[in-house]
A and B are shown apart, each in its own frame.
Chain A
Amino acid sequence: EAQVTQNPRYLITVTGKKLTVTCSQNMNHEYMSWYRQDPGLGLRQIYYSMNVEVTDKGDVPEGYKVSRKEKRNFPLILESPSPNQTSLYFCASSEYPRHPQETQYFGPGTRLLVL
């Protein structure tokens, strides 16, 4: 089954404790992206990757890092989480991101609480 998976689905942590949220897709997609969803703000792009070893900032990259060493994986790293990073995080992927007909496939989301 074609899918985007994220782990963990739920995470409670404390301020300053480094964490990684994994994202994996099995569709051989070149493009991958991370979004965060907050009440009243909607979904906003954090980082994106056009291909292996090619990453760039989205609208809200502060406090986050990403890497793209393999095509299928795009982990989101919070090196020193803070309470304002409490949010619902979504990973997405697509095959031809600039094609007008192309949709993005979303993972199930990771709910993060930083105390």
Chain B
Amino acid sequence: KQEVTQIPAALSVPEGENLVLNCSFTDSAIYNLQWFRQDPGKGLTSLLLIQSSQREQTSGRLNASLDKSSGRSTLYIAASQPGDSATYLCAVKGPGANSKLTFGKGITLSVRP
């Protein structure tokens, strides 16, 4: 059974800092890995999707990497801003028929002005 872990559960950094959010998963048989952002009381916004055959994806100040063999992914946020404060969720899609996403519990990021 796939398990996705995100540690730490919460992180507080000063504005302008570059930071790395970590995600690990137990089963390397995945279709893709996604990073989502969730603002308090809101839905999920997809930030980056990395296919199992890819190593990284970039969007603006965000860069996500994937090491499938070791079961790890990182989300790098450059020059963090207070507007980046949110919960970041990592999810993997397995090869099963139900196409479900298995989510980590998320990292709640607070960027202090």
Is there a chain B Cβ closer than 8 Å to A59's Cβ?
yes
State which residues 74-110 of A face B: CB under 8 Å: 90, 92, 94, 97-109
Report A-chain residues with C-beta under 8 Å of the C-beta of B101: 35, 43, 45, 92, 104
Cβ–Cβ < 8 Å partners of B99 in chain A: 31, 33, 48, 94, 97-98
Q: How many residue pairs between the two chains, A and B, have CB atoms under 8 Å in the bound complex?
A: 65
8 Å CB interface, B16-34 against A: 31-32, 34
A47 to B101 Cα, complex, angstroms: 12
B104 to chain A, nearest CB (A): 6
A62 close to chain B: CB less than 8 A: no
Contacts of A56 in B (CB 8 A): 97-98
Bound-complex Cα distance A43 to B89 (A): 10
A97 to B34, CA, bound (A): 14
A40 touches B105 (CB 8 A): yes
Interface residues on B, range: 20 to 34
Which 9 A-B pairs give the minimum distances between C-beta atoms?
A97-B99, A43-B103, A106-B44, A45-B100, A108-B43, A100-B51, A42-B105, A100-B31, A42-B103
List 22 A-B pairs, Cβ < 8 Å: A33-B100, A40-B105, A42-B104, A43-B89, A43-B91, A44-B103, A45-B100, A45-B101, A90-B44, A94-B99, A98-B99, A100-B53, A101-B49, A102-B32, A103-B46, A104-B46, A104-B101, A105-B46, A106-B36, A106-B43, A107-B43, A111-B41
Q: Report which B residues bind A (CB closer than 8 A).
A: 4, 31-32, 34, 36, 41-46, 49, 51-53, 89, 91, 95, 97-101, 103-106
